[in-house]
Amino acid sequence: MTDSLSRLMELRDDPFRWARDWKERTGGKAVGFFCCYAPEEIIHAAGALPVRITGENRVTSKSGAHLQSYCCSLARTSLDMALTGDLEFLDGTVFVHTCDTMQRLSDIWRLNAGYAFHGDVVLPVRFEGDAALEYMREELASFRKRVSDNIGPVDDSVLARSIKLYNRNRGLLAELYRLRREDPGIIPSDEALWLVASSALVEKSEHNAMLEEAIAGLKGSSAKPDEKVRLFVAGSVMDQWDFLKMVENVGGTIVDDDFCTGHRYFDAEVPLDGDPIEGIARRLTDRGSCPCKYLPSSDRASCLLDRIGESGARGAIFFQFKFCDPHSFDYPYIKKTLDEEGIPSLHLEIEHDSVSTEQLRTRVEALLETIRGC
């Protein structure tokens, strides 16, 4: 393992440590965000560090006074972290319009969490049509102005520079995935997905440097014989490292995914020709969408099917957080599509406050048995 790779892996024990250190080092501001549609480049260009919050495995204590239990644990545990002071290093947070729960969480957070800066980026739900794109550009421009007024100036050249750094990161992560699809043995599933997740916790230019070294090291490493069953996993946030390790332990390996903390995070690059805001907007719309977005020209099930085929995956796991409406609505039709193609799949529903890897193990093993044909 290269030095960079070890440094990145160590971060997993205390994900926000890097952000705290960075703040001390540079005196800069840290701005939290939740969704991979957040225009991070704008925050980065203002000299701040965008830090992704995806909840954590914990039993909540204070969030129950603000949120009913029938919303996802991403929202509940994130709020709990804020209310108990676990996110005191943040100087602000950005909420991008995602779903009903995040929409209300934004209000509750703004009224109770007490951070100096609160940015709402109300992106459209429609990702097609001139009116929607025009609105998206205006909303991004408005966000840029608010960041400029409250965090730091965001002029075109600085923004262009940030975009280049982000594109480089996206390219590197895409390369990592390519290498893994060719030879999953070079790095275990949990580490590969952590490399993506860590990108949203570390400043981009520093992450690029570490990632470059880590990938170079992986290329050079001898490939272990690949006997594991190739799997494709889809969902929203993937932050269950014990689960991923377990999948490998029982003989599976995740060769590709559709997670917003995985593939969707780095998918596509911002076009560099033209206005940077326009470019950011175009990247958001010109790529595979998530269930929260309305993009009638793109059929999510067939996109996933194509990617499953390309990755050589023999089965799929739907890894969903309980109470996630957008993903739950998509599930029946995607499952039907996979069934029609004869691709075995497994549906798992979890909550951050009560994960049981043992129970999940049995189900994953059963899927592998189905795939192997026993």
For tokens 């204070």, name the residue: 62
Q: Pull the structure tokens for residue 69.
A: 């239990």
The least CB distance from residue 101 to other proteins, in Å, is: 6
61 vs 362, beta carbon nearer other proteins: 61
Q: How far is CA 117 from CA 31, 80, 109, 110, 365, in A?
A: 8, 19, 11, 9, 46
Q: What residues contact 72, with CB distance under 8 A and at least 6 apart? A: 101, 321, 322, 323, 324, 351
**CA pair distance 66, 79, nearest whole angstrom:** 9
Q: Is 163 exposed, middle or buried (0-12, 13-18, 19+ CB in 10 A)?
A: buried
Give the footprint of other proteins on this chain (CB under 8 A): 59-62, 64-68, 70-71, 97, 99-101, 103-108, 110-112, 120, 122, 124-126, 129-132, 134-135, 138-139, 142, 291-292, 294, 296, 322-323, 325-326, 328-333, 335-336, 349, 353-356, 358
100 vs 310, beta carbon nearer other proteins: 100
Cα radius of gyration (the chain): 20
112 vs 150, beta carbon nearer other proteins: 112
The least CB distance from residue 20 to other proteins, in Å, is: 25
4 vs 106, beta carbon nearer other proteins: 106
Nearest to 314 by CA among 261, 255, 267: 255
The least CB distance from residue 330 to other proteins, in Å, is: 8
104 vs 164, beta carbon nearer other proteins: 104
The least CB distance from residue 321 to other proteins, in Å, is: 10
**CA pair distance 174, 112, nearest whole angstrom:** 38
74 vs 173, beta carbon nearer other proteins: 74
